[in-house]
Structure 1
Amino acid sequence: MTTEICLFTADLRLHDNPVLHAAVRGADSVVPLFVYDRGVRDAGFAAPNRRAFLADCLADLDAGLRARGGRLVVREGEVVREVCTLARRTGARAVHVAAGSSGYAQRREERLRAALAEQDRLLHVHEAVTTVLPPGEVLPQGKDHFAVFTPYFRRWTATAPRETVPLPRSVHVPDSAVSHRLEDRADVSGTSPGLAKGGEKEARRRLTRWLGEPLDGYAEHADELDGAPTSRLSPHLHFGTLSPIEVAARARESGSPGAEPFVRQVAWRDFNHQVLAARPAAAHEDYRPRQDHWRRAEEEAEAWRAGRTGFPVVDAAMRQLRHEGWMPGRARLLVASFFSKTLYLDWRLGARHFLDLLVDGDVANNQLNWQWAAGTGTDTRPGRVLNPLTQSKRFDPDGSYVRRWVPELGGLRRPAVHEPWRLSGAERSRLDYPEPLVDLSEGLARFRRARGLE
């Protein structure tokens, strides 16, 4: 009887999973394995919100495997050691895993390949599992990645993705595959009160609901901050409880007017992954250095984290992040611009705070979107600054987003809800709300001087 290992990483699903499909097809028995990676924990990436969401995902994956006669095997420790130990114990001849984009994932793959080779075992790395197109699938002439999104998107759109693979009908797991206990969401402390539920079942329910009426309004209302038609599928794409190929295909098949703008955002995700795969150091180094001498102002950084900057839309977004472990894309851009350009603080500090809280905290998308906002990444207009007052009036015109997340301002109407500093002294004194952290014109001038734009 032959045995192979399916090593789950960021592909915690049964639908359209080439890793699981290949392992089931290639052997009599399969070890569906997830390793609580000690390297991820030690690097500070096992944040409470993602741990809790992961617990949901693994429990759902285990239930799906059990419905097919199998079970999820979980281990904890250093991934290469745990995989090799289990391969020896079960006699597995090969290991299947999804390709990763980060430098950490690439190095882990190299170590695993070498360690398995010493045991005369094979490693099969499957592309296009966590993205629609694998990094490097489309390339500009003479370069190893696209640095500008628009030409990448043209090529991305013109390139057919791989075919989806079917659900496994049955999964036989050898008795020798000993599992540790699955972590439960209740085991995790320090999570956001409004953290969403994880798992493939929940992901598919959300996708089906999204492909109805909400998607229709996406093109026109996607950037609105309160009540916008937002899929909230990013955590499920991050953990792989949904196939991005299936998401894009089903959106297009819906015929909705919002389908193509939504699919464009899926392509942005692929774009960031192909940048990171080619430039792993961009996770912590400027993709395009601007010779910045970032300010050091911890009190200002802490006010930003706490949602006490005195700019209502910024504070609303930061409080939503703390409460839900998520915020809309437009909110992410404006608070990142405020942090890195208006306050002129190092984007890495802001990106770290996002990774501490975001349930969809993805190294490729988080770090590279932060660099885009900071003007050190792939933005073709690196000097642009998002004015929080302008953004608030445009994307939260009636102030409902601010009132929802900044209750101190709940009784204010326009325009005071956007700019409470314009109230009279007596009115302002009754608000438990701080003065603006910075004068916007002074912040802009400081940034432009620092970047040599004046």
Structure 2
Amino acid sequence: MGNAGVSIALFTRDLRVHDNPVLSAAAAAARVVPLFVLDEAIIGSDHPCPNRAAFLAESLADLDAGLRELGGRLVVRRGSVVAEVSRVAEEVGADEVHVAADVSGYAQRRLQALHRALSAEGRDLVVHEAVITAVPAGEVTPQGKDHFAVFTPYYRRWSTAPKRRPLGPPSRLAMPRLSAGRIPSAAQLCAGETSPDRPVGGEGTARRLFDEWTRSVRDYADDHDDLAADNTSRLSPYLHFGCLSPVELVDRVGTGDPGAEAFVRQVAWRDFHHQVLAARPAASQHDYRSRGDRWRHDERALEAWKQGRTGYPIIDAGMRQLAREGWMHNRARLIAGSFLTKTLYIDWRWGARHFLDLLVDGDIANNQMNWQWVAGTGTDTRPNRVLNPLAQAKRYDPNGDYVRRYVPELRGIDGGAVHQPWRLDPDIRRRLDYPEPIVDLDEGAERFRTARRA
């Protein structure tokens, strides 16, 4: 190809220098071009997310800083991924392009198009597995099938599946001469206000959080569902953007105690959803298992749910945490999702869309498949279960501390009484700027069960 010994490391959702097989393999050549393409098909879509745009901009700036410490820098282009990769490859005479495998339908189509284009130019596309997930999608399968549809047997196989050893960063990078382009600002990626308390992006932040988390993981099995304690890692945004390697995470946490094992199990859930979507890309928008639902259209109820004004404090606290932080505790996600789909009987796709509008960790595989799980159209083996928000609140926020943290108008109510403000003295209720419940829980649950039986 005219200038042998030049490779491109195409970053996608692997924005890190530690344990990055894409970068390490490309850097094994004489010279490497670390490349990120601002994909116009995503940036120019009708589904903007200021939170993820800001996080991405910070992560790219951090990645550039990490590459500079190794003697390189991040090359940034904007446009069609296929066209821009081909253009850079032609400019530097690259023989190979290295990239991580991904699972969404769009990512799979983009990879196929990239392979066709590079093959036509006489270049090689090298696809690396176990970069975005700990175990590659499709590596663990039941006999005669292309994916596991139930988590428990998947987890048993996942636990014993061989996992690669984490890689250190390359010792040094050498680059050919070319224009690097500019690291984008958040505003250049997406207009709009971000959540005021959203997490800050970048591998440096991810690794600091990870180091801190490993000191508290021993308590994870006991209190990861405790809403007020919030003893969760909050690493999901960094896993989504690849600022942190799931392979390294599993390797370092290990399984030496119940807390570590419970945490690693959650990483396996993430891989499980990725292998489902890899095998069934249409599940990002269509029921994985149709239940024949005729979902209600109730704009007022949907808007009340989005705004955290349903009259059920545990629901409203979760939705307001989402708006404030661009993140929500996993237990709160389950409660809020069940309420929308099974108590209000509103299509899970509306909930999934709202979450993607705000979540920094808005991952298509995890978001859509978790929503389908809670709606009973996905992989849940008990598809008609309904999570009662009052029972959930009593169990996971018994003293009401989580609610008071995010619903300020209820901070003056003591103890667990905060979960049922409609039972307070009428004079107290009149002073609260807080709505009455928008639905009776028993009536909502019965409506859902009747619809499912039909």
> Please, which of 161, 164, 168 is the counterpart of residue 162 of structure 1?
164
Partner SS state of residue 451, structure 1:
helix
Once superposed, what is the RMSD of the aligned Cα atoms? 1.2
Residue 174 of structure 1, CA deviation: 1.4
Letter matched to residue 417 of structure 1:
V
2:324 corresponds in structure 1 to: 323
Structure 1 unaligned blocks of 5 or more: none
Aligned-pair distance for 1:426?
A: 2.1
> What is the one-letter code of the residue matched to 2:101?
A
Q: 3-state SS of the aligned residue for 1:384? A: coil
Q: How many residues align?
A: 449
Aligned residue among 16, 31, 44 for 1:13 = 16
| TM-superposed deviation, 1:414 | 3.1
Q: How does 1:310-389 map to 2 (within 5 A)?
A: 310-389=311-390
For residue 28 of structure 1, report the CA deviation from its aligned partner. 1.2
Please say if residues 14 and 61 of structure 1, whose CA atoms lie closer than 8 Å, have aligned partners that are also in contact: yes
Q: Residue deviations 1:68-93, cap 9 Å, x none?
A: 11000011111111111111111111
- Alignment partner for residue 227 of structure 2, among 225, 228, 252? 225
1:185 positional shift? 4.3
Deviations 1:45-88 (A, max 9, x none): 54111111111111111001111110000111111111111111
Match of 1:51 in 2: 53
Per-residue CA shift, 1:234-254, capped at 9, x if unaligned? 00110001110110111117x
One-letter code of the match for 1:331? Answer: A
* Structure 2 residue 282 is matched with structure 1 residue 281: yes
Q: Matches of 1:268 and 1:277 in 2, distance apart?
A: 14
Aligned partner of residue 289 in structure 1, secondary structure: coil
- Between the aligned partners of 1:102 and 1:147, the Cα distance in structure 2 is 17
Aligned residue number for residue 75 of structure 2: 73
Unaligned runs of 5+ in 2: none
Q: Which residue of 2 aligns with 1:140?
A: 142
Q: Secondary structure at the match of 1:96?
A: strand
For the pair 1:207 / 2:210, whether they are aligned, the reply is: yes
SS at match of 1:217: helix
Give the aligned partner of residue 397 of structure 2.
396
State the Cα deviation string for residues 276-305 of structure 1 (Å, max 9, x = none): 000000000000000000000011101000
Give the partner amino acid of 1:276: L
- Structure 2 residue 303 is matched with structure 1 residue 302: yes
Contact 2:7 2:33 in 1 (8 A): yes
Counterpart of 2:166 in 1: which secondary structure?
coil
- Structure-1 residue corresponding to 2:118: 116
CA distance in structure 1 between the aligned counterparts of 2:426 and 2:277, rounded to whole angstroms: 50
User: Does the CA contact (< 8 Å) of 1:371 and 1:377 recur in 2?
Assistant: yes
Contact 2:73-2:180 within 8 A present in 1 as well: no
Aligned with 2:237 (options 235, 238, 248): 235
Partner residue, 1:173: 175
CA distance in 1, matches of 2:248, 2:119: 34
Alpha-carbon separation, structure 1, partners of 2:425 and 2:442: 22
Cα distance in 1 between the residues matched to 2:289 and 2:41:
28
d(CA) in 1 for partners of 2:265, 2:46: 31
Equivalent residues of 1:215, 1:256 under 8 A apart: no
Residue in structure 2 matching 1:190, options 186, 189, 193? 193
Query: Which residue does the alignment assign to 1:36?
Result: 38
SS at match of 1:382: coil
- Aligned equivalents of 1:122, 1:325: Cα separation in 2: 39
Contact 1:38-1:76 within 8 A present in 2 as well: yes
Q: 1:107-153 CA deviation, whole Å, 9 max, x = no partner?
A: 00000000111111111111110001101111101100000000000
Could you tell me which residue of structure 2 aligns to residue 449 of structure 1? 450
Q: TM-score, normalised by structure 1?
A: 0.97
What is the CA distance between 1:8 and its match in structure 2?
Answer: 0.2
Kept after mapping to 1: 8 A contact 2:63/2:202? yes
Deviation at 1:399, TM superposition (A): 0.4
Indicate the SS of the match to 1:75. Answer: strand
Counterpart CA distance in 2 for 1:182 and 1:113 is 26
Q: Which moved more, 1:229-238 or 1:420-429?
A: 420-429
Structure 1 residues 198 and 422: alpha-carbon distance in aligned structure 2, compared to 1, 3 A threshold:
same
Contact 2:223 2:229 in 1 (8 A): no
The structural deviation recorded for 1:180 is 2.4
Moved over 6 A (4+): none
Rounded to whole Å, the distance in 1 between the matches of 2:344 and 2:139 is: 38
Q: Secondary structure of the equivalent of 1:258?
A: helix
Q: 2:109 aligns with which of 107, 110, 120?
A: 107
Cα displacement (A) at 1:229: 1.2
**SS of residue matched to 2:453:** coil
Q: Shift of residue 94 of structure 1?
A: 1.2
Look up the match of 1:268. Answer: 269
Q: In 1, distance between residues paired with 2:441 and 2:166?
A: 50
Letter in 1 for 2:353: R
Q: Where does residue 290 of structure 1 map in the other structure?
A: 291
Q: CA deviation at 1:165?
A: 2.2
